[in-house]
């Protein structure tokens, strides 16, 4: 499930996840991870439910969600592109590539393109240092990325998206 269809379905999903993880020591992070896994993001409606069950304030739950970049508070696009920001990639031009990508997509980190196709995220190492700069597109890692290679990747993603809509 990537998005919920109604409030009762959301409540049922969140309540099930809380019940499965509530007895763990330090259950908040496992609940948040499981919620995002099940829903694709952590809806704002889930925050008071989680807070009440764990006897936390809504601010405490929201603080954890906003602190960790992994958690999303809105649905991601159909594709996620992560740009490596680790030292090796930076030394090979990822900062310049990052600026060009943001301009090309017209989004900043943690935002989704207007068509809902691409969400852009930073990542702090893809383990592909020998092929810097690197990006991950969904589950595929690409090395030695320049703007030309990036444009080809995006064109392919958008072509597939158009074909799926036909």
CA separation (Å) from 107 to 7, 16, 37, 158?
29, 35, 24, 16
66-88 burial by CB neighbour count: b if 16+ within 10 A, else e?
A: eeeeebbeebbbbbbbbbbbbeb
Cβ atoms within 10 Å, residue 89: 27
pLDDT value of position 4: 42
In the chain, domain spans = 7-67, 79-165
How many residues does the structure list for the chain? 166
Per-residue pLDDT of the chain (166 residues; tens, 9 = 90+): 444 457 899 999 999 999 999 999 999 999 999 999 999 999 999 999 999 999 999 999 999 999 988 899 999 999 999 999 999 999 999 999 999 999 999 999 999 999 999 999 999 999 999 999 999 999 999 999 999 999 999 999 989 888 888 7
CATH of domain 79-165: 3.40.30.10
């Amino acid at each position: 499930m990537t998005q919920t269809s109604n409030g009762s379905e959301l409540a049922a999903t969140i309540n099930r996840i809380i019940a499965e993880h509530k007895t763990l020591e330090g259950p908040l992070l496992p609940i948040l991870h499981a919620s995002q896994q099940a829903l694709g993001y952590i809806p704002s409606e889930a925050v008071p439910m989680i807070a009440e069950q764990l006897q936390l304030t809504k601010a405490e739950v929201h603080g954890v969600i906003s602190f960790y970049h992994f958690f999303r508070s809105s649905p991601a696009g159909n594709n996620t592109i992560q740009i490596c920001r680790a030292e090796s990639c930076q030394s090979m031009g990822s900062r310049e590539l990052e600026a060009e990508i943001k301009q090309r997509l017209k989004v900043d980190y943690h935002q989704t393109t207007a068509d809902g196709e691409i969400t852009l995220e930073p990542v702090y190492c893809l383990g592909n240092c020998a092929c810097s700069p690197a990006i991950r597109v969904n589950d595929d890692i690409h090395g030695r990325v320049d703007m030309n290679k990036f444009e080809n990747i995006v064109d392919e993603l958008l072509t597939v998206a158009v074909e799926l809509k036909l």
